[in-house]
Chain A
């Protein structure tokens, strides 16, 4: 069987499992729909959180990005894992203790204000939509490459699937499908990584392999990273493991971006909402631990995959005559994600850090998908990787759609517009909202506005500068007032959004020289977050303290016991 047949088998099989689980675990109440009846065991919730969190970006793009960035790739590695420490220590147990269903619920009650609740609802919807459009696009790309259907049809197939299990199953269905999707995606990530690690270094554990010696070939016996640094020097790239050399981001920017991604992770509504599904504050702590264990398995493998892919790509293509280029080169060339421009007309591919000499451009997104082909792994492994990429994209999309659905039906309709809505009516509305959200997300995936990709990256800065400070202060400082929180959210997200919009959309020619202290728009969320903290605390000092019952609620939220 060829790659395509295998892909049909793998994708068909995994999709049937997801639908089967959705039918088995469908929700019958709003409690089931929003928070899976609060009966999810910590381990299962950890696994579901892992799948929820690891999106098409983690699975498909991240190792590729690291492959081209070397050391600087740490902004993603530490940025997208370190936030779980903040989440577990500062937020998850307390939000779970508070109960209710959503993040805006907490904001609305803690800050005794419908205005604060509505600001939080719109932040949640905005962040989730920008994110979900990227996932649907990822689904489309995988379908078009491996099943050779147009991207649009791929998006439609993905939409139909998510529609079935998100509207039918709600959080309960999503949780258990995410558990299955985690298993699929992690197996799909590890098998090629182990195979390639063994092939290059003779060490089957990728986390150790990329620090090991090369087993055979011209560099045999040298440490892999040392050899890669050497190759980079020869081709005119900055060394792979070097930190703040010319051509890489400066230290201040690495600090700012890492912090923005960490804090943004801890402020993302679709991640926070997962901790409402477990049975107690204690279970919330343990499930955050399991979530990071499951995420760390992929995140510690990714830098190894990045290193192997970098070495493999250069070794296979550099100085190779174009006519003798391997078959995968030609298939990816058709998708325009890899290109050869024979500048000196000698018919030989030359890869170089000098743009005037370089003849090869490779899209960062294809490194993980093409890696098994580059390493000559069997067809079923390649098909498995396609199924894994789909699992990563679909699980994240479903989690995001649920946030949008609950924000509309619960936070806007039930809490603000029509408080006398019946349980049955709310459940029905939640399903309808999820359905509409799927369609909108699909349209954004088929016709991506040019700025979606950029906005996804900025969603973290916006989440970091709006939600995180007021959630933390709401728990750790009784004195924080609604005036403080609203002023803090508005100034934090205002500064962050203004800085991003200025550099990305208004004065696009202004380069790094114009950045404040060298901090790029990707990292400005850290500054916005600090401003939010400062404004919230300052305004809280000069306004009337929160009512007695709110202060009592804060004290109660801090304790793990059940009231």
Chain B
């Protein structure tokens, strides 16, 4: 069966939107939660972890892994949808 008609421009625009969304999350967990807001967040506790400290030493790294996983999956879907596999 023929795939959809190749639409490189459409693929690229969709890819840029995806990147913007993922990079915003990347910036939020690392620079905002892990550094800029670390002191107010440290007033909150997650078990024995002050929350800001936890983001800086643990949470941000887990989020990075998830971000790349989401990207690798979504990029596969986009390539199929726009016929550029």
Write the residues of chain A forming the contact surface with B, with a CB cutoff of 8 angstroms. 66, 71, 73-74, 77-78, 81-82, 84-86, 88-90, 93, 207, 210-213, 223-226, 241-244, 251, 254-255, 258-259, 262, 282, 285-286, 288-289, 292-293, 296, 299-300, 303, 555, 558-561
Contact = CB atoms under 8 A, between A and B. Distances in A.
Interface of B is mostly: helix
A194 B85 CA distance: 43
A324 B48 CA distance: 33
Interface of A is mostly: helix
Given A74-B35, A78-B60, A89-B23, 15 more contacts: A77-B60, A77-B61, A85-B22, A86-B26, A211-B54, A212-B48, A223-B47, A225-B50, A243-B52, A282-B72, A282-B79, A288-B72, A289-B68, A296-B65, A558-B12
Interface residues of B, number: 43
B85 A74 contact: no
A90 B75 CA distance: 12
8 contacts: A82-B30, A82-B64, A225-B53, A285-B68, A286-B72, A300-B62, A303-B57, A303-B58
Nearest to B58: A300
Best-surrounded residue of A282, A299, A561 (most CB of chain B within 10 A): A561
A74 B75 contact: no
Contacts of A74: 34-35, 56-57, 60
A267 to B, nearest CB: 17
Interface in B6-64: 6, 8, 11-12, 15, 19, 22-23, 26, 30-31, 34-36, 38-39, 42, 46-50, 52-54, 56-58, 60-62, 64
B58 A251 contact: no
A223 B30 contact: no
Contacts of A561: 6, 79, 84-85
Contacts, number: 133
B64 A296 contact: yes
A258 B36 CA distance: 12
B72 A285 contact: yes
Contacts of B36: 251, 255
A77 B38 CA distance: 15
Contacts of A244: 38-39
A303 B6 CA distance: 47
Interface of B: 6, 8, 11-12, 15, 19, 22-23, 26, 30-31, 34-36, 38-39, 42, 46-50, 52-54, 56-58, 60-62, 64-65, 67-69, 71-72, 75-76, 79, 84-85
Given A258-B30, A289-B68, A289-B69, A225 B48 contact: yes
A255 B67 CA distance: 21
B20 to A, nearest CB: 10
Contacts of A555: 8
B7 to A, nearest CB: 10
A559 B69 contact: no
Contact of B84 (A82, A85, A560): A560
A241 B71 contact: no
Contacts of B57: 66, 71, 73-74, 77, 303
B60 A82 contact: yes
A286 B69 CA distance: 8
Contact of B64 (A84, A210, A303): A84
A279 B26 CA distance: 27
